Amino acid sequence: MAIFPSTHATLGAPATAGRRALHLRAGRAVTLGLLLAAPFATAMVLLAVPGRARKTAAALALLPLVGFTAWAVASAGPLLSGGEITLALPWIPDLGVALDLRLDALGLLLALVATGIGSLVVVYSAAYLPAGIHLPRFMAYLVAFAGGMVGVAAADNLFGLFVFWEITTVASYLLIGFSDDKGSARAAALQAVLTTSAGGLAMLAGCVLLSRQAGTATLSAILAAPPSGAATTAALALILLGAFTKSAQVPFHGWLPAAMAAPTPASAYLHSATMVKAGVFLLARLHPGFGSDPIWAPVITTVGLATMVLGAWRALRQTDLKLLLAFGTVSQLGFMTALLGLGLVHAALAVLVGHALYKSALFLVVGTIDRTAGTRDLRVLSGLGRRLPGLLAVAAVAAASKAGLPPLLGWAAKEAAFAEILTVAAWPVVILTVAASALTAAYALRFVWGAFATKAMAPDARPLGAGVLPPAPGLWAPAALLAAASVVLGIAPGWVDRLVQAAAGVPGKLVLWPGWQPALAASGAAVALGAIIHLGRTRAAHLQAAGERLFRSLRFPTADGTYRRSLEGLNRLADATTGTLQHGSLPVYLGVILLATLGLPAAWWLAGGAGMPAPPLAHRPAEVALGLLAAAAAFGAARARHRLTAALFLGAAGYAVGGIFVLYGAPDLALTQLLVETLTVAMFAFVVARLPRRHEEARLPWWRALRVGVALAVGAVVTWAALAVGGGGGGEASAAYLEKAVPEAGGRNVVNVILTDFRALDTLGEITVLVVAAMGVAGLIAGARVASGREEDPR
């Protein structure tokens, strides 16, 4: 990644009270830093690998992922007992921004999921992506993403966390828009990145605020002594926005189904197993410090439950297998969020691990179906189970884990979750959870049925089956491994249990057989209900359609609609602002500038910041006459129809001002003024001869009135300022020069002495200004020739 000024490793010192301090070797910390830098370095190398070297690219991409997984498993022991690996990497120390790393059990859990599943996805991608696709670049994005995920898992500084968080967003964007020239893919990529980046920046604001409240940006220090109060709650709300958008929670979930435009391996990895878990992870990370904040439980639980039910409901209606899984992911993310809202960190993390394993397996299965059968529409697919029994077995195992059937990890996780929910939550929560689980079981069945069953086809459907060849090992082995992991870890959940318990920091129970308990009834009911829904699927579909019609008639805002409307609204607002502010018309621009100029002193005056004294109207009688003359001339210039008349009026106004200079004893100034005015009028006369004689008149009366109003307001303010200034005693400036002229400069003509001696540098500068102006004029004359030549030349 970068060369850091000092990478001193600190020994593990857990900040959270109650954890056993374990001193790890400093070497581990450095290894962690290197392993985190490795994916980014690999990504750089991969960008330089030519597109044909597919095997090299895959091998290169595997290296940092497998390396990290192996290292993490090897050093898991101390972490599981409460130890930590920390590494201080200062970045912008002034601002408290650092990339400090602190890997504990919670971070280990997410990092292991990211790198472990990442390795399998890399293997799968090499087999999946067609030859036309630039594989090394795909791998580069994938590996960089994995690095970002590990960074999120291990960051111990709010800003460092944000940096890695954004890296995952950018990688996701690149992957979603990777291979598609279609407008829809582009729009989807944009929607995904806009939603998650907007949330991310809200999170940045929250981080800034939180670090101010806490006095430090170090995450472990904040969690050890969390601040509280209204500002902290506001900061938390902003950070929650980031977590919710990332984890596709209602009402921000619209981007996740849209993101299915990504190549399927990327969907499996980012949009189900890892990236969307970052939000859930962040909630789990913050829970020890902020779980008791007033908004924590109500907001998070409500959002989670709504997401869970909505996602499951929508999943059951999908005909595209990938979209079905996407909505299923939304639903499961809602489940985890709701569990965290209730404070059930252990259960949430157990569900997270289980979901990562089975959902990525299912996604990979969909990719394989897509590749072998050429479609993933369950209305068209039929008889695939008979052709590909192996794939069916893999899918069935993963789907069973999703539905929560023993002896799979999904079952153990769900049992633990139900048991914990029943101890803390009220009945409505329990009922919603059971209902969503029933829907989950139903769409898991629908998935297997839709992908593999032999169905009575609609007459116009394209029958499949004959042309399907068995997929290459790279296309099924990773999914099979993931499914197998679901089985093994389901039968012997001890290791996962240790990891999840250490990560949650609270005891929990993840076992194959929990014994007869109320939770068993709940999950049994859910599975049974799911089976019933699936068996009565035609009727269920009718019911759902009716429900959705009803829902639509309520005109309740939907997530997609909200996203579209907010974009349109932004566009409209911007359009309207352009229309009013940016005509391209010089008078309008000048008017805007003038009004704003008046606005500043006016604001001060209204704020009472400064007394605006009423100045004396005049000091000498002759002044009144000259002032009135100047005003009359200015009025005449504004009213004149002919350009030359206007110029003459302007000259008269200038002469009047020159007269005032005379009154105040500045004959040299007055002389200069008179000469300049005369010369200007003469030049005007030359130029005006070549222009139309009359001004263009403003046609609209209100527009003229506005212009008159602005002009009068500016005139009034300037008049006030001139009068207020005029009251001062004269002679202050000249006295010093008169005194010094002869002794210091040896000149009796004070004006000359000032110009050539006291302020010689100014004079030199003014000469330079003239040089520039002369070059401009020369350019205009030369350009006039170019322009006339241009007109003659027909080209």
Q: Using the rule CB under 8 A, is 37 a contact of another protein?
A: no
Stretch that binds another protein, among 199-207, 506-514, 642-650, 682-690 (CB under 8 A): 199-207
Q: What are phi and psi of 145, to 5 degrees?
A: -60, -45
Of 583-622, which residues contact another protein (CB under 8 A)?
584, 586, 588-590, 592-593, 595-597, 600-601, 603-604, 609-613
Instruction: Give per-residue burial for 54-64: e unless 16+ CB within 10 Å, then b.
Output: beebbebbbbb
Half-sphere CA count of 360, side-chain side, radius 13 A: 36
Interaction of residue 70 with another protein, rule CB under 8 A: no
Nearest-approach distance from CB 428 to another protein, in angstroms: 35
Q: Are residues 51 and 62 in contact, defined by beta-carbon separation less than 8 angstroms?
A: no
Q: Does 739 bind another protein (CB under 8 A)?
A: no
Q: Residue 344: phi, psi to the nearest 5? A: -95, 70
Work out the end-to-end distance of the chain between its first and last CA atoms, rounded to an integer number of angstroms. Answer: 54
Contact 363, 266 (CB under 8 A): no
Decide if residue 788 touches another protein (CB under 8 A): no
Q: Is 434 within 8 Å of 525 (Cβ atoms)?
A: yes
- Contact indicator for 155, 95 with CB cutoff of 8 Å: no
Residue nearer to another protein on the CB measure, 279 or 530? 279
Shortest distance, position 399 Cβ to another protein, whole Å: 34
Q: Does 569 bind another protein (CB under 8 A)?
A: no
- Verify binding: residue 743, another protein, rule CB under 8 A: no
What does 617-664 look like in DSSP terms, one character per residue?
S-SSHHHHHHHHHHHHHHHHHHH-SBHHHHHHHHHHHHHHHHHHHHHT
Residue 181 CB, nearest distance to another protein (Å)? 6
Quick check: 92 binds another protein (CB under 8 A)? yes
Contact region with another protein (CB under 8 A), list: 195-203, 364-372, 523-531, 644-652: 195-203
- The verdict on 430 binding another protein (CB under 8 A) reads no
Q: Which of 292, 719, 749, 768 binds another protein (CB under 8 A)?
A: 768
**Residue with structure tokens 């969390």?**
226
Q: Which residue of 9, 15, 35, 189 would you call a contact of another protein, by CB under 8 A?
A: 189
| Token pair of 530 as six digits | 């799911």
Q: Which residue, 595 or 631, is less far from another protein as judged by CB? A: 595
Interface with another protein includes 759 (CB under 8 A)? yes
Residues 701-730 that bind another protein (CB under 8 A): 717-718, 721, 724-725, 728
Q: Is 45 in the site for another protein (CB under 8 A)?
A: no
Q: Which is nearer to another protein, 511 or 775 (CB)?
A: 775
What is the rounded CA–CA span in Å between residue 277 and residue 342?
Answer: 18
Asked if residue 746 binds another protein (CB under 8 A), the reply is: no
Q: Quick one: which of 167, 412, 483, 630 contacts another protein (CB under 8 A)?
A: 167
- Cβ(363)–Cβ(272) under 8 Å? yes
The single residue among 27, 130, 181, 556 that binds another protein, judged by CB under 8 A, is 181
Write phi, then psi, for 98 (nearest 5 degrees).
-145, 165
21 contributes a contact to another protein by CB under 8 A: no
For another protein, the binding residue among 761, 792, 793, 794 (CB under 8 A) is 761
As a three-state string, the secondary structure of 676-707 is: HHHHHHHHHHHHHCCCCCECCCCCCHHHHHHH
**Residue 475 C-beta: closest distance to another protein, Å:** 27
The answer to the question of residue 194 lying near another protein (CB under 8 A) is yes
Q: CB of residue 186 vs another protein: minimum separation in angstroms? A: 4
State the Cα–Cα distance between residues 46 and 167, nearest whole angstrom: 17
Of the residues 10, 16, 197, 216, which one makes contact with another protein according to CB under 8 A: 197
Which of 26, 53, 133, 201 is in the footprint of another protein by CB under 8 A?
Answer: 201
Residue 99 makes CB contacts below 8 A (sequence gap 6+) with 4, 89, 90, 91, 151, 155, 157, 160, 163
Using CB under 8 A, which residues numbered 238 to 277 contact another protein? none
Nearest residue (CB) to another protein, 27 versus 579? 579
Phi, psi angle pair for 489, to nearest 5°: -70, -20
Is 113 a binding residue for another protein by CB under 8 A? The answer is: no
Select from 100, 104, 156, 166 the one that contacts another protein (CB under 8 A).
Answer: 166
460, 696, 697, 732: which one binds another protein (CB under 8 A): 732
Cis peptide before 407 (omega within 30 of 0): yes
